[in-house]
Structure 1
Amino acid sequence: MSRIGKKLIIIPSNVKASIDNSLISINGPKGELSYNISKLIKIEKIKDKLKLTKNYNHKKAQAIHGLSRSIINNMVLGVSQGFEKKLIINGVGYRSQMEGKNLILHVGYSHPVNIKPPENIQINVENSTNISIMGIDKEIVGQIAAKIRSIRPPEPYKGKGIKYIDEKIKRKVGKAGK
């Protein structure tokens, strides 16, 4: 029994939701997102709330029930508030800069690393070590942040690399001398 799938999705007053067969479109002040719902799930709009129910009672429908509810709730939050991930660059000489919409990273390689974000993602750089990724789609914002972090993940000895702002790095003790 999905506890998440049973929760109603509350639609704020500045957000509009429309259901067309298995396609749900959410439109808000930040933009518009749409999602194709599985045939195992039925969605209905009750005043300013969305309710998801399972058409069948088996394991696959159970899994998709909670997943669909989470995705649609994230769509509603995204078009009304947006999502943001923050990254920090640690390391001597490590820095980042914006060139147009592209992010240029100088993180210890022989060449700068160039990242071109998708059209609905905005990247900002503050004081060359703080990077913020903003957008309305939580999945894409998280994926771009993970891609940037994977260019130079933090290493455990000195903590150099790119990490999330709230990430804790487990430090290791270096080699002991005589």
Structure 2
Amino acid sequence: MASMNKVLAVAETSYIIRKGLVYVLSQLPIVAKVVELKELEDINYQLGIIKPDALLINPMLLGHSVRGDIRQHLDLERNTPIIALVYNLIDERFYQSYDALIRINDSESKIEEVLSTTLNKEHSKKADQEELSDREKEILISIVKGMSNKEIAEFHNISIHTVITHRRNIGRKLEIHSVSGLTIYAILNKLVDIKDIKL
């Protein structure tokens, strides 16, 4: 079960809907605090300060152009669930980058169910994710610095086969299989400084 100290952020411009949702959410046993995001111009800045356990947002606030990685657009951590607050289902594909949906006419029990399921899913994802070993972190740093397998092998005095095994294990543990994804992970986890990366 999710712990009972979750901080939620709600981004919705309609005063009535926002206040109603905040009231319902604040009554749930797993919620410690609900923060209203009213000024949407600096939403990334606000999210950086609040660091919510989940964000409930009206997708229309982001516009139709943002259909790709919502999390990256909002500059949120990989494990922060984003729940779409939906007035009417336009097209299922529009909402596919969200972790869950809450419809405007959902009951309190339905909202609680969606929220609990989403937060528990994210919690178990974090628990399932294995930690990288110190050696894997060293290899990851070399990868994001743009070194080839041969260069990594020579630099760390290991075989190319061992480098490939480490790369496979890193991808499996982090569930990230692209160099760009690994680079973002390494920067966010302060394994490398952005100035050390070859562009």
Q: TM-score scaled by structure 2? A: 0.27
Larger RCO, structures 1/2 (Cα 8 Å, 6+ apart): 1
Q: Relative to total residues, which structure has the larger helix share, 1 or 2?
A: 2
